[in-house]
Amino acid sequence: MEIMPMMLINGAFHHSITPLDRGFAYGDGVFRTIQLCGGLPMHWPLHYQKLVADCATIGIVCPSAELLMSDLQQLITLENIEENKLEVLKIIITRGEGARGYKPPAVVMPTRVLIKSAIPEYATEYAMQGVRLHLCETRLATQPKLAGVKHLNRLENILARMEWRDDHIFDGLMLSQQEVVIECTMSNLFARFGTSLITPDLSQCGVAGVTRQRILGFGRALGFNMHIENIALEKLLQADEMVICNSLFGAFQVRELAQKTWQQQSLATKIRNALST
C-alpha cells in the first residue's frame, strides 16, 4: 500500500491547486525530482541552480532557495525521519494563476509545490545485473528553445512510456525526429567506447539532468575521455558498455536494448560509487 505523499503548496499544507493555475492549464512550469536522505536534499546546490535556469528559460523568476528550504523544513518536521531514510522530493514551480489565454498575467506570482513521497523500490537485480530498455517508437520533437529544460510539457515521455507494459522493462530509449539517440523516458544515458564516455547532445531536445551533469563533471577523474555528441542508434548498439542515470537510482548498467545484449560489466558500479561520494 502506497503512503499518501505529503505536500506543501506556497508554504501551506493543503492539497489543492486551482484549475486556473497555468501549470494545470498549459503545463506552464518546471520541476525537479530530488533524493532526500534523512530529510536533506542531496546535491541541492546543483538542483537549485538547474531549477533557476529552467525557470529563466521560460521566463519565470524562481522562488529563493531560502524559501524552498523553509518549505522543506516544514515538510520534514512533521515526522521523525530516520537519519539515513531515503525519500523523494518533487518541486514544481509554475507561472501561477492566470486569466484565460496564453499571455502571462501582468504580475506573475509563481506557484511552488513540494511533494515528499516514498522512494521507489528498485529490484535489487537492477543494480546487480542491469536493466532492459525498450526502444521507443515515439520520437522527441526538436525544440531548441526548450531543450534541456525539465518543464511540465511531458506528453512525449508519456506516449513513449505507454508503449510497453512488460514490468521487466525498466525504461525506454528515445530518439529525436532526426533519428539521433537522446535519452530514456526518465533518465539520461552514457555509452562507453574504449576509454571514451559519450552522452548525447541535448541542445535540440531532451532533459539535461543533474546526475548527467555530475557524471560529466567527475568522469575524467575516473579515467574517461568525456564527450557530448550526437550518437546514431547503430553506433550506440556497438558501445562496449552503456549506463542510464537519474537522481533517484543513480546509475544502472544496460544489459538489453533492441535485441542487443551486453555482458555484465562494471561501469554503472563505478559511476554509482562516484555519485555517492
Catalytic residues: 33, 150, 183
212 binds a second copy (CB under 8 A): no
The residue whose grid cell reads 541542445 is: 203
**DSSP H or E segment with residue 222:** none
Q: How far apart are CA 32 and CA 38, in angstroms?
A: 18
**How many CB atoms within 10 Å of residue 4?**
9
59 binds a second copy (CB under 8 A): yes
107 binds a second copy (CB under 8 A): no
25 binds a second copy (CB under 8 A): yes
Q: Which is nearer to a second copy, 146 or 216 (CB)?
A: 146
Q: Which of 86, 92, 93 is nearest to 117 (CA)?
A: 86
State the minimum distance, in angstroms, from the CB of residue 115 to a second copy.
6
**Range 243-272, binding a second copy (CB under 8 A):** none
Which stretches of 118-219 are DSSP H helices? 124-129, 155-161, 210-218
Indicate which single residue of 36, 52, 55, 58 sits in contact with a second copy (rule: CB under 8 A). 58
128 binds a second copy (CB under 8 A): no
151 binds a second copy (CB under 8 A): yes
Q: Which is nearer to a second copy, 48 or 170 (CB)?
A: 170
223 binds a second copy (CB under 8 A): no
Q: C-alpha grid cell for residue 242?
A: 552503456
3-class SS of residue 65: helix
Q: How far apart are CA 171 and CA 162, in angstroms?
A: 11
User: How far from the centroid of its chain's Cα atoms is residue 158's Cα?
Assistant: 14
Residues found near a second copy in the complex (CB under 8 A): 2, 5, 7, 9, 15-28, 31, 33, 58-59, 88, 90, 92, 95, 99-104, 113, 115, 117, 120, 138-139, 141-143, 145-146, 151-162, 177, 185-186, 205
